[in-house]
Structure 1
Amino acid sequence: MTFNYVNFKELSNKYLLNKLKIKYINYDNNYFKNYHNKKYFKVSKIRKRTVLTEYGVLTYSRRIYKNKYNGNIFVPTDIYVGIKPYSRIINEIKNIIINKIGQKKSYKNIQDEFNIYISKTTISNIFKNIKVKEILPQEKIKVKDNEYIYINVDDCFVPVWNKNKKRELQKIRSISYNTGKKQISKNRNKLLNKKYNFMFNYKFTHDFYQNNPTVESTWKGLIKYYDFYNPKLVVAGDGAGWIKNLAKYLGAYYVFDKYHAISYLKKAYNLESKWRTIISNIEKINNYKISLNYFCNGQYNELIEFLTKTKVNKEILKIFKNNKQGIINQSASWNIGCSAESDIFHLVKSQTKGAKTYNYKTLNNMLIAKINYLNNRI
């Protein structure tokens, strides 16, 4: 006789459901025997309650208490179970759903996790109506004096239904931290002690140095995750003005992201698409290689002179001119590159992939659930 997994799972769920039912009934009986509010509350009636658990549908009986003076209803067993009035889904199910969303599970994947049917609308409503709290690591990461903390920042836009039920693009600012990198295979490095942070629904101020939300959020993330006194800070990003200002405000070194620099150089020489080997493009390919070499070696003056000489687009030339320090620091021994683009993918795009538009509250909760998962991985 072969092993039947389906039958085994069904029997296991029935057994666990029965154990859960006994647990709830025992709690109700013990509470009735030991409760000390008999002066104010009396048992009004005993009623059945049907709830959805991870093992299936469960029906249990419990006592309903009524205040003798004002008529208020009190159901202690429902509180113990973790079920709200007029709801069928216990809190445990909601917590599982929150954890699954943080692990990049789609609504369909979450539905398949349970032995009960939960609609996609219900899953969405759970995320919209619940307030997901950030879970901080139990211990901060200790950073010695003069050791480096790397800060990678970037922006992305996601369509949301706002508070007025209108579709708009919501800007999300990704902020990640790490203390260096370690080579784990021939072509792969791992960032050490990496932590994620993000900004949602923030407003700009005209004066960057007064009440600026980016500086405040970046610093709060540092002191939440790291224990330090006098570290060396490095800020890396795509060359936007606010990133350079952030580095200046924090007294940090600034690095211009190589990924974006390559993209700009390819655009400058019309090589955005796949490499073309036809004769008419050989000169442009060579110009690209020369300019990239200047960039990687931190040769700012030579790079600007060459870009000017080869008559690249004025807007692209301006980007490189405005990122002098970020280019010079390319050759620094402490420069480990920038992970801002991949951070945007892991934190935001992997969550919203395939979805047209999320509710404003739902997306915010999804991002908090995601950083809880990322920041507390072992």
Structure 2
Amino acid sequence: MNFLTDELDYEECDKEINKNDINYFRNIWLAYDDFWHKNKYDKSKYKYVKTAPRSPNTKYGKINDFYRRCYLILETNEYYYPLDNYIKIKKRKRTLTNLEHIIIKNSGNGKRQSDVQDIVKNAKFSKTYMTNVMKNAVIGVEKIKEKKILLPNEKLFVNMDDCFISSLFNNKKQKNRIRTISANKGTDLEKSTKSRNVLKDKKITYMKTKNGERIKRQELIDKIYDFLDLQFIYNKSSLVFIGDGAPWIKTSAKKENIPYVIDRHHAFKALKKGFIFNRKVDNKKLTNAYNLFINGKYYLLLDFLKVNNIDEKIYKYFKNNKEGIINQKENWNQGVCAESDVSHLVKSLKGYGAKIYNDKVLNNLLLINSARINKLNLLL
């Protein structure tokens, strides 16, 4: 083990610990403490004071009755523990920073707290401790190294959707709106299979506000362009906005003179609800309506819905989305669904643990999930 770097190589430890027991960890630590005392102890800067106990918790288990040297920094009159610095354990903490990083990196994305506990089961930490780690975590995300280039014949699909999730802010329940904004270059034909559609160069961001707080249109548009400019090299003429038919998406597309397409998932869901008669779905009529929809036959679809006495709210939903329906027939339209973004970014958090999160925990989980989707490393 190389002690000159003053930083424990945990990857090397992982390899060695499989061959040995936890005492390998203890022996490495003691060896470093001796090394520092013999080779780096400068009596003009430090004064040896005592040996002090520690019982640190590691991913391999707890190390009990462990002692290391303590020094006094002469210039500042503060205590200094070289070994604590080497193994990366914070003052008054019982858990290695390495173990906290494992908890943070494995949280979210559908993993329950018990799933994370199983990953490092020897550590035997509680769910309350995990929540505190996530609450106090300071997380950064690495900068984007290379922008994705859009070819002249490619489209950049911008999906938008809203969902709602609660959190605890100052011990009071607060409902939050999460507005997801994602971009992709359509279906990746090389990676897609018959059962799984993979999107090419998919990237995501989001806006989080308290429910009831209005997101101004220009604020949304600025967010979209800032996000796209950071991720892609593109022409505005390549953009297509996709959504569930909400007015804020349509008006944003109209203001920016960008084609708008209604999300097929939401359209099919509305049609299916409209063609339920006597608690059964009329699949024949549903298929006919859906075919009219995906072929962009706006007026024929409205006539078909009216003839079949579809609920007035459902009829208005399609009547008010003329452009979103007509653009279904365009060759560039791939029927990409915005609902999956909500599922991957927000709804997957439902499996993590508590039914309601502390607001700081929610913020960190959203940050972790968005970094994972964007394939960016966390900076901890």
Match of 2:217 in 1: 208
CA spacing shift, 1:231–1:15, aligned 2, 3 Å = farther
Within the alignment, does 1:43 sit opposite 2:58 as a pair?
A: no
Partners of 1:357 and 1:273 in 2: how far apart?
34
Partners of 1:243 and 1:147 in 2: how far apart?
22
Q: Which runs of 5+ in 1 are unaligned?
A: 1-8, 277-284
Query: 1:31-180 residue pairs with structure 2 within 5 A?
Result: 31-33=36-38, 35=40, 38-58=43-63, 60-68=66-74, 70-114=76-120, 115-136=122-143, 138-161=145-168, 163-180=169-186
Deviations 1:61-113 (A, max 9, x none): 33322233653223232122111122111111111111211453211112122
Match of 2:20 in 1: 15
CA spacing shift, 1:346–1:333, aligned 2, 3 Å = same
Within the alignment, does 1:366 sit opposite 2:365 as a pair?
A: yes
Task: Quote the RMSD (CA, aligned, Å).
Answer: 3.0
CA spacing shift, 1:29–1:36, aligned 2, 3 Å = closer
Partners of 1:345 and 1:317 in 2: how far apart?
27
Match of 1:195 in 2: 203
Partners of 1:73 and 1:217 in 2: how far apart?
47
Match of 2:316 in 1: 318
CA spacing shift, 1:152–1:22, aligned 2, 3 Å = same
Q: How many residues align?
A: 357
Q: Sequence identity, in percent? A: 35
Match of 1:270 in 2: 276
CA contact (8 A) 2:237 2:258 kept: no
TM-score (norm 2): 0.82
Partners of 2:117 and 2:346 in 1: how far apart?
22
Aligned partner of residue 21 in structure 1, secondary structure: helix
Match of 1:341 in 2: 339
CA contact (8 A) 1:151 1:236 kept: yes
Q: CA deviation at 1:251?
A: 4.1
TM-score (norm 1): 0.83
Runs of 4+ in 1 over 6 A off after TM superposition: none
Q: CA deviation at 1:311?
A: 4.0
Match of 2:302 in 1: 304
Q: CA deviation at 1:307?
A: 3.1
Q: CA deviation at 1:320?
A: 1.7
Q: CA deviation at 1:208?
A: 1.6
Partners of 1:249 and 1:35 in 2: how far apart?
66
Partners of 1:228 and 1:147 in 2: how far apart?
9
CA spacing shift, 1:206–1:345, aligned 2, 3 Å = closer
Supply the AA of the counterpart residue of 2:221. Answer: V
Q: Which runs of 5+ in 2 are unaligned?
A: 1-13
Q: CA deviation at 1:236?
A: 0.9
Match of 2:193 in 1: 185
Per mean C-alpha deviation after superposition, the further-off stretch among 61-70 and 164-173 is 61-70
